[in-house]
Every structure is written in C-alpha cells, then in structure tokens.
Amino acid sequence: MSKPAPTSSQPGALAGLKILDLSRLLPGPFATLLLADLGAEVLKVEDPIKGDYTRMTPPFVGSESARFMSLNRSKRSMTLNLKRPAARQVLLDLVGHYDVLIEQFRPGVMDRLGVGYETLKQVNPRRIYCALTGYGQDGPWRDRAGHDLNYWSLAGATGISGWASSPPPVYGVQVADIAGGG
C-alpha cells in the first residue's frame, strides 16, 4: 500500500491576487477557476435576474448545475444589476480593492453601462482589465456572438470531421472555449 502524497500548507502561487469575475458561460469562468485554483481570491459578480447561464445547464445535483458548481468552486459570489446606478457604484467601490477585472460582454457593453475601461481606470489605474470576446474589440466581427462551434467552423475543423456523406458533427465538448478561456 502506498502512502498518500503529503499535502502542502503553502499558499497558492497567486495568493493575495484579487479578481472580479463578471464573466459567464464557459471561457471566462474557466479562466478564473484556474486562477482561483492557483490561490487567487475570485469574486464572481452575476446579474440578479438570470445569473450565469450555466446555472441552467444539466446535469443537476439536486437543484444545482454540476457544470456551474465545478466552474465556480473556490469563488465567492454576489449579484449586481449594473443597469442600476447603486449597483454601478458598488462595482466602482470594489474595483478600488481588486487587482484584475475580467468581463465577457460584447465590446461596448461595459461602456454603455457606465463602467468601461476608462471609467474603471480612474478608480484604480493599476487594475488589469481583461475583456474576453469571441472576435476581439474592433474589426468587422466585433459585435458578433461567438460560440465554440463558430470558432471550430472558421478554423476549418468541422470540415475535416465526420463523414463526407453527412453534415459535420456537433462536438460534445467545447474545445475552443476552454482553450480561449484557459
């Protein structure tokens, strides 16, 4: 019988780093999960009406989505309706105490909400602002929704998968989302 591996009481490599996570679905939450696993303190900020859409994704453990729980372990969470001035002020107050903000909205959404990069930079000029989008911040496709299947298709991966006599398969896993988020 082998002995169990010793456990470490050392803090993670990112201990002390504080991250505000305004992302949802898979790429952003996966990225911040990796950061939390490395010791960063992550505060997930969700819309109070729908929250992160993975909350509705099966399979469920009781009434909770297993996917949501696995992507958001080791994170604290709160809700803010950023369409309300008081909630925007809460976010501005939080930004003063956090090192990184990651958001996953389409370009321009944070600006329209009044909490875009330029506004947040005034509160905390040292904070890192990460905007995770499917097609970047500028260019002809900047406003398009991006999903894993779109990226696979644009890369040509769907055209070389499956059988010539049938349409390309829809994959059961999200590879581009994880590679982009991770």
Q: Give the start-to-end residue ranges of the domains of the chain.
A: 18-142, 147-182
CATH code, residues 18-142: 3.40.50.10540
* pLDDT greater than 90 at residue 176: no
* Distance, CA of 55 to CA of 149 (rounded, Å): 21
Hey, which residues are catalytic here? Answer: 177
Q: Which has the closest alpha carbon to 100: 178, 45, 159?
A: 45
List helix spans (H) across 26-108.
27-37, 66-71, 85-95
| The one-letter amino acid at 28 | G
Note whether 168 and 160 are within 8 A (CB).
no
* pLDDT greater than 70 at residue 2: no
pLDDT digits (tens, 9 = 90+) for 126-155: 999 999 988 888 999 998 888 888 888 888
* Distance, CA of 182 to CA of 179 (rounded, Å): 5
CA 19 to chain centre: 11
CB atoms within 10 A of CB 90: 16
pLDDT tier for residue 18 given thresholds of 50, 70 and 90? very high
pLDDT tier for residue 55 given thresholds of 50, 70 and 90? very high
Backbone angles phi, psi at 122, to 5 degrees: -65, -35
CA dihedral of 170, 171, 174, 179, whole degrees rounded to 10: -110
CB atoms within 10 A of CB 101: 26
Name the pTM for this structure. 0.87
